[in-house]
């Protein structure tokens, strides 16, 4: 028995349709990014003002292992599912459904094992101690997180990005914000509020993703899990799992190392800055769900030039928007960090480094979206080298700041600087490898980015001499408007502007930007 399938958009068949599909998915996720930005602010205010930097630091340290383990248990299905469905199901909808359920069953099995191990040996989750005994139950989010990743990937294969936006940009952030406030004031749950709020938000996200999935795919028919085939699926997923875990690990390793070498307050300051800087990261990865089906289709027909064109196009869209966001948040950095309290102003340099890191990482992420299909082992080897480089740089810069007698803010800034350098190296190496494999240029760099950034910096710097409330209320829109005007007129050609048009009927030969 299955639920009636929901309407889904068919896969595009022409290069121009690919561009329109990418643009539509990008618009949806860009709107999701804006919603997520608004939704994240209440949680940051509650976490920093009510719970404080020390409690926030312990909570952040615990999340490092939870998120990495959950990502591993999802078996790289965020990108791998599109290829499995494209190659293994054909036109058989029943086979498609069964393939998705195979992945979910396998993820649940690995999640259960991982959760039990962490329950038995919880010490790695809490290098700075716990806020409450309830913190241990963060392990309950591992299976929910892993299954949600697969559900959203399955919907993305049918070009349903709205479900991802609802889940990740509305339900999860608003749930954690509301729950964190409620648990703080409920008797007996104040110390455990952050952990309980996170658990609540992850399961709310799971339910939000599950309903449209059941409408689209329904329940499995004649489904008999084959243990041998599922073990083979585990083995083939290893390069994808490694790439996903390392990509996410680069954003979490610094918190883990800070937890080992720095006090909880430094971790809390870093985490607050990271939550702001992670917003452009979400924008960057928002193209992945819609990019994967387009790439796998072109790989199937051997159209490497079209893939290179899509990488260039999407890469420029991402870096153009990300650079604007980074300037808007970094120029008034002291005022932005001051919103969370006077203790967090010390994280201004950390915020600037983290925002710069997300800008330089854009090329690595877009390149990797192709490399995971055509050079999995080489991509994984590069990622391992990059995370090793980051670990060495992070320890060196934190220890240098500590030995020099600098405070928590400088130690956090050292970790952020290490991340920026490592991600810059990753972008360079992966872009060169992809260019070699595709036989076509893939760079997302254009000189108008410099012109737009320069104009925005001049305008933003002028506002730093005014009171902070004017800098935030008037200065931020002024910086954004200046940057947007210059990049629109000097940087965006007609191929780029399709991102902002809802009604697009592309020409058949529009597979590459003009």
Q: Cα separations (Å) of 322 from 42, 252, 351, 449?
A: 22, 20, 14, 11
- What is the spatial distance between Cα 74 and Cα 165, in angstroms, rounded to a whole number? 19
Can you list the alpha helix ranges (DSSP code H) found in 11-50? 15-46
Closest CA to 419 of 337, 347, 355: 355
- CA 277 to CA 288: how far, in whole Å? 19
Percent of the chain with pLDDT over 90: 30
Q: What is the pLDDT of residue 201?
A: 95
CA distance 364 to 362: 5
pLDDT per position as a tens digit, 12-61: 444 455 555 555 555 555 565 666 667 777 888 888 888 888 888 889 88
- CA 194 – CA 485 distance, rounded (Å): 41
pLDDT higher than threshold 80 for residue 279:
no
How far apart CA 324 and CA 321 sit, in angstroms, is: 5
CB 409 within 8 A of CB 346: yes
- Cα 136 to Cα 115: distance, rounded to the nearest angstrom: 10
pTM of the model: 0.72
The whole-number pLDDT of residue 313 equals: 82
Q: Are 146 and 115 in contact (CB under 8 A)?
A: no
Q: 482 vs 103, which has greater pLDDT?
A: 482
- CA dist 448 and 323 (Å) reads 12
pLDDT at 242 over 80: no
Residue 413 and residue 401 in contact, taking contact as beta carbons nearer than 8 Å = yes
Using CA atoms, how far apart are residues 78 and 155, in angstroms rounded to an integer? 10
Compute the distance between CA of residue 409 and CA of residue 406 in angstroms, rounded to an integer: 8
Of the ranges 1-10, 182-191, 221-230, the best mean pLDDT one: 182-191
Evaluate whether 210 touches 219 at the Cβ level (below 8 Å): no
pLDDT at 209: 94
Closest CA to 10 of 99, 101, 91, 98: 91
Look at residue 12 in the predicted model and tell me its pLDDT. 40
Cβ atoms 21, 510 nearer than 8 A: no
Model pLDDT, residue 8:
41
**For range 291-312, the mean pLDDT:** 81
Cβ–Cβ contacts within 10 Å for residue 170, how many? 17
Compute the Cα dihedral for 255, 260, 264, 265 and give only its sign. negative
SS (H, E, C) 53-67: HHHHHHHHHHHHHHH
Q: What percent of the chain has pLDDT over 70?
A: 83
What pLDDT band is residue 457 in, cutting at 50, 70 and 90?
very high
Write down how long the chain is.
514
Please return the burial class of 4, using the count of CB atoms within 10 Å of its CB with bins 0-12, 13-18 and 19+.
exposed
> How far apart are alpha carbons 395 and 403 in whole angstroms?
12
The pLDDT, as a whole number, for residue 307 is 86
Which DSSP letter does residue 488 get?
A: I
């Amino acid at each position: 028995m299955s639920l009636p399938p929901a309407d889904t958009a068919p896969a595009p068949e022409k290069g121009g349709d690919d561009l329109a599909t990418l643009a539509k998915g990008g618009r949806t996720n860009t709107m999701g990014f804006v919603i997520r930005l608004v939704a994240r602010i209440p949680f940051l205010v509650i976490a920093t003002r009510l719970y404080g930097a020390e409690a926030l630091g312990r909570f952040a340290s615990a999340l490092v292992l939870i998120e990495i383990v959950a990502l591993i248990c999802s078996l790289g299905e965020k990108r791998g599912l599109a290829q499995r469905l494209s190659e293994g199901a054909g036109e058989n909808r029943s086979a498609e459904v069964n393939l998705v359920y195979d992945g979910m069953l396998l993820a649940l099995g690995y999640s259960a094992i991982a959760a039990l191990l962490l329950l038995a040996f919880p010490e790695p989750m809490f290098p700075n101690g716990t806020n409450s005994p309830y913190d241990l139950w963060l392990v309950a989010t591992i299976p929910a997180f892993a299954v949600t990743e697969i559900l959203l990937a399955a919907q993305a294969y049918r070009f349903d990005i709205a479900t991802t936006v609802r889940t990740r940009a509305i339900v999860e952030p608003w749930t954690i914000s509301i729950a964190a406030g409620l648990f703080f004031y409920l008797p007996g749950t104040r110390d455990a509020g952050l952990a309980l709020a996170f658990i609540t938000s992850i399961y709310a996200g799971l339910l939000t993703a599950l309903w449209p999935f059941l409408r689209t795919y329904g329940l499995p028919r004649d489904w008999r899990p084959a243990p041998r085939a599922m073990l083979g699926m585990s083995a083939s997923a290893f390069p994808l799992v490694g790439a996903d875990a390392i990509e996410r690990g680069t954003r979490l390793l610094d918190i883990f190392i800070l937890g080992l070498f720095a006090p909880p307050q430094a971790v809390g300051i870093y985490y607050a800055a990271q939550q702001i800087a992670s917003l452009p990261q979400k924008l960057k990865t928002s193209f992945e769900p819609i990019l994967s089906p387009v790439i796998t289709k072109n790989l199937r027909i051997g159209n490497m030039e079209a893939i290179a064109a899509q990488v260039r196009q999407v890469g420029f869209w991402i870096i153009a928007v990300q650079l604007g966001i980074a300037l808007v948040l970094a120029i008034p950095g002291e005022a932005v960090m001051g919103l969370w309290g006077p203790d967090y102003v010390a994280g201004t340099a950390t915020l600037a480094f983290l925002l710069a890191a997300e800008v330089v990482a854009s090329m690595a992420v877009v390149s990797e979206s192709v490399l995971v299909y055509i050079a999995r082992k080489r991509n994984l080897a590069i990622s391992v080298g990059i995370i090793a480089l980051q670990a060495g740089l992070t320890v060196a810069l934190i220890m240098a700041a500590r030995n020099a007698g600098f405070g928590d803010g400088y130690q956090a800034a050292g970790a952020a600087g290490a991340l920026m350098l490592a991600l810059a190296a990753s972008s360079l190496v992966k872009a060169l490898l992809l260019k070699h494999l595709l036989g076509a240029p893939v760079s997302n760099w254009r000189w108008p980015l410099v012109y737009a950034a320069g104009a925005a910096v001049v305008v933003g710097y002028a506002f730093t001499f005014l009171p902070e409330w004017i800098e935030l209320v008037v200065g931020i829109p002024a910086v954004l408007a200046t940057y947007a005007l210059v990049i629109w007129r000097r940087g965006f050609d007609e191929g780029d502007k399709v991102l902002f048009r809802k009604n697009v009927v592309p020409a058949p030969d529009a597979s590459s930007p003009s």
